[in-house]
């Protein structure tokens, strides 16, 4: 019997009849608490993979299992963050972070009675990502990096077992992006939720992930599963060490081979 938290078994995905396949014979097995990164050329199906795991799209063939249950509808144990922070401009930072609690059960039913408890949890998350004192600021008063820190807090406020990240730091400058890597790593090491990170940044994958999957060109399938043995916590100094540099070059060579094939 498998003890995987997430399993994709020979999954195929076609969005509409007559379309080319987006994913072909895709198989993955992810442990609970594992930090996974998925890399590959543009259009290889990385975002399609996210839709399958979260239940936003059903597979055309094969099975998707999350937490022991076949995924047939959108799942409630997931938090998501994207490249655009999508913070609501008319809500303060604190109110933006509290938004999932107004939607996701059982928190929605508990929110009114236990609001002080939830506010304290939101303040704690903000402190963990360095945003103490920003609770009453509106999104337009925050830098891009601060908005993404708040975005991570919003994705985690309802304590999801699974965090799905689709290029969350892609629009940020290099220094801010590296700061966010450290913030995300600290959150993950503190709370140990499962993460699937879709990224084009091979340094980001090497810095954050336990396991890195390399996908083929469309139709996407898993070509390489690479375990990352770099010790944690990783720091910016880690990114200059030979094992880190070698891993990034290895991933780049794999992507280059995929693009040339």
The pLDDT tens digits of the residues spanning 211-225 come to 999 998 888 889 999
Interstrand relation of 78-82 and 162-166 (parallel, antiparallel or unpaired):
parallel
CATH code 3.40.50.300 region(s) in the chain: 1-19+36-42+52-77+162-261
* pLDDT, position 42: 80
* pLDDT, position 1: 38
Mean predicted confidence (pLDDT) in 46-70: 92
Mean predicted confidence (pLDDT) in 130-150: 95
Could you tell me which residues come within 8 angstroms of residue 72 by beta carbon, excluding any fewer than 6 positions away? 55, 58
Exposed e or buried b per residue across 28-37, where buried means at least 16 C-beta atoms within 10 angstroms of its C-beta: bbbeeebbbb
Going through 181-231 in order, the beta strands assigned E by DSSP cover: 194-198, 211-215, 222-227
105-138 pLDDT, tens digit each: 889 898 989 999 999 999 999 999 999 999 999 9
Q: 217 or 165: which carries more pLDDT confidence? A: 165
Mean predicted confidence (pLDDT) in 50-71: 93
Mean predicted confidence (pLDDT) in 158-163: 94
The torsion of the CA quartet 113, 116, 118, 119, rounded to 10 degrees, works out to 140
User: With 60 as the cut, is the pLDDT of residue 2 above it?
Assistant: no
- pLDDT, the chain, mean: 92
pLDDT band at 258 (very low <50, low <70, confident <90, very high): confident
11-40 pLDDT, tens digit each: 999 988 878 889 999 999 999 999 999 998
CATH level 2 (architecture), domain 1-19+36-42+52-77+162-261: 3-Layer(aba) Sandwich (3.40)
């Amino acid at each position: 019997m498998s003890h995987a938290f997430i399993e994709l078994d020979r999954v195929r995905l076609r969005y509409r009849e007559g379309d080319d396949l987006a994913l072909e014979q895709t198989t993955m097995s992810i442990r609970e608490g594992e930090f996974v990164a998925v890399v590959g050329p543009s259009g290889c199906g990385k975002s399609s993979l996210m839709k399958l795991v979260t239940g936003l799209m059903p597979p055309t063939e094969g099975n998707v299992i999350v937490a022991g249950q076949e995924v047939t509808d959108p799942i409630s144990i997931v938090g998501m963050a994207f490249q655009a922070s999508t913070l609501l401009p008319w809500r303060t930072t604190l109110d933006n972070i509290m938004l999932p609690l107004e939607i996701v059960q059982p928190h929605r039913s508990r929110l009114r009675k236990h609001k002080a408890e939830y506010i304290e949890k939101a303040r704690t998350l903000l402190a963990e990502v360095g945003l103490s004192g920003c609770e009453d600021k509106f999104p337009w008063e925050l830098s891009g990096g601060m908005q993404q820190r708040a975005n991570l807090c919003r994705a985690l406020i309802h304590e999801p077992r699974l965090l799905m990240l689709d290029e969350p730091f892609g629009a940020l400058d290099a220094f801010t992006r590296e700061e966010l890597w450290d913030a995300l790593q600290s959150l993950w090491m503190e709370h140990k939720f499962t993460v699937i990170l879709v990224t084009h940044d091979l340094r980001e994958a090497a810095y954050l992930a336990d396991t890195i999957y390399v996908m083929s060109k469309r139709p996407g399938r898993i070509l390489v599963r690479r375990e990352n043995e770099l010790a944690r916590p990783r720091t910016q100094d880690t990114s200059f060490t030979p094992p880190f540099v070698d891993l990034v070059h290895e991933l780049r060579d794999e992507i280059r081979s995929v693009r040339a094939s």
